[in-house]
Amino acid sequence: MGVDWSASPVRLASDAMREIREDPQLWETASFYPPFYDDPEPIPEISRRLTADWPEGLEWRVGFLDRAYNQVEYLLDPVAYRRMEDWARRERSLSYRIVHGDNPFAEHAVSGQGFPWRCSSREFLAEAVEVIDRLDVARVRAEYSKVDMSRLGVYKVSPRGDDGISFDANLERLRQLGDFYRSVVDSDFDVVVELY
């Protein structure tokens, strides 16, 4: 068993979204259907409202970071990641918020494995895209180390193997994340991030 990453485009200011953020039972119902999960029809009324006027080409839910989400977070700024002294500081870091979501979604919104859902506004996603686009690849590559990640407890990292192969794979994931966020921003949506 492992922990996977997924993100779902949403409109945080919509009435339906406000309702599931306020009502734990309604959230529980909605969490198993689009846009959060690809359960088959028939979908409940709340999910129909959440997905009304869905733009063509925008996916319900993406999961391309799979179990490498912490590696992507580390890649964004290896030096800052090493300096994290505690969970609270890490949770406030820009790298964490880009990958895991800017803010908590709702107190009751917790995945089956106990991880709180998080969310990011369209405005924050636009900032995240700029950070990803401006990444100094040579600088972060010079600091990137599988041994370092393993020592820090980064999820699903072995100290063995080629740093270059790992770096290239995680850089590609980061670029996919930037492209996904760009498509969400262009569609005038926000995002909910879930670890499950």
Q: What's the pLDDT score for residue 1?
A: 56
Look up tokens 């690849």; give the residue.
137
Helices and strands counted in the chain (H then E): 11, 4
| CB of 96 closer than 8 Å to CB of 128 | no
CA 126 vs CA 7, 63, 132: distances in Å? 16, 20, 10
Q: What is the mean pLDDT of each run of 10 residues along the chain (196 residues)?
A: 88 97 96 85 90 87 88 97 90 97 98 94 99 98 97 92 96 97 97 95
**CA-CA distance, 125 to 24, in Å (whole number)?**
26
- Residue ranges of domains in the chain: 63-195
The CATH H-level superfamily of 63-195 is YfbM-like super family (3.40.1760.10)
**CA-CA distance, 10 to 104, in Å (whole number)?**
14
Contacts of residues 93-101 at CB distance under 8 Å and 24 or more positions apart, as own/partner, are 94/131, 97/124, 97/128, 98/73, 98/128, 98/131, 98/132, 98/177, 99/5, 99/65, 99/69, 99/70, 99/72, 99/73, 99/177, 99/193, 100/69, 100/73, 100/193, 100/195, 101/191, 101/192, 101/193
Q: What is the pTM of this model?
A: 0.93
